[in-house]
Amino acid sequence: MKSKRIIGAVIAVMFFVAGLMQPFSANMAEAKGKTLSLTNSEGAVDFAAVQAYNPDIYAWIVIPNTKVNYPVVQSVVDDYYIMRNVDGSKGYPGALYTNRVNTKTFQDFNTVIYGHNMKNKTAFGSLHYFDKADFFNKNQDMYIYTADGVYYYQIYSTVKYSNALILDQYPNALETSRQEYINLTLTGYAKSKVEHVREGVELTTEDKLVTLSTCINDARYRYLVIAKQISFVPYK
């Protein structure tokens, strides 16, 4: 059954990529009247144009049925983009970004992407759609585009977590820490609470996870949406 699910996920990604006939528009790239698109006029993924716009862009994340449809950046200075938009302008909503503790390959055990919880649901504001069990149960797909191809992820957990830096507490390099983080995403612990978890998702310390981190209305905590990498489809 597991192999059938993986094959089905790969086929789903292939159809999704094939269906990219309209350019994606990034709200976070429009602060100066500019619009950044993942695809060109022919519907092909155009990472050369994306990286020409800003060389710090190394990925693009899409979560269907939310407003998450944005580039992902990483600067040589950690948290540089917390108050800078993807076009370089200062202010909100900022950009979706990772810190240097992560590589840009999505081959780390856990890649943590940060974004603001905007009231108008831009940036990572619409991640809170997953607060509702019905939405969580019906929506599990996440796609990350890179210069080489597209990764498909299955969203399997949402967690109310302390404001501590995840990769400081659970370093990728330590297998014991990787297992502890898996346990956190499934059952929580004293200072965190699992809001929703998808049944039947198999996890090991060799998996590749992405954790999306944003704010809630309590500065002591963060809201996490965690996904498991299922497949990768290179561009033709």
Residue 36's pLDDT is what?
86
Residue 31's pLDDT is what?
46
Q: Is the pLDDT of residue 9 over 80?
A: no
Residue 21's pLDDT is what?
31
Q: Which CATH number fits domain 2-234: 2.60.40.4070, 3.40.50.10090, 2.40.260.10, 1.10.10.10?
A: 2.40.260.10
Q: Are strands 69-73 and 57-62 parallel, antiparallel or unpaired?
A: antiparallel
Nearest to 184 by CA among 164, 157, 217: 157
Q: Which residue has the higher pLDDT, 97 or 39?
A: 97
Supply φ then ψ for residue 85, to 5 degrees. -80, 170
DSSP string, 49-106: HHHHH-TTEEEEEE-TTSS-EEEEE--SSTTGGGGB-TTS-BSTT--EE--TTS-SSS
Residue 120's pLDDT is what?
87
Query: Which residues touch 168 (CB under 8 Å, ≥6 apart)?
Result: none
Domain boundaries, the chain: 2-234
Q: Is the pLDDT of residue 34 over 70?
A: no
Q: Which residue has the higher pLDDT, 62 or 220?
A: 62
Residue 30's pLDDT is what?
52
Q: Which residue has the higher pLDDT, 224 or 20?
A: 224
Average pLDDT on 159-171 reads 93
Determine the Cα angle at 93 with ends 87 and 97, to 5°.
Answer: 70
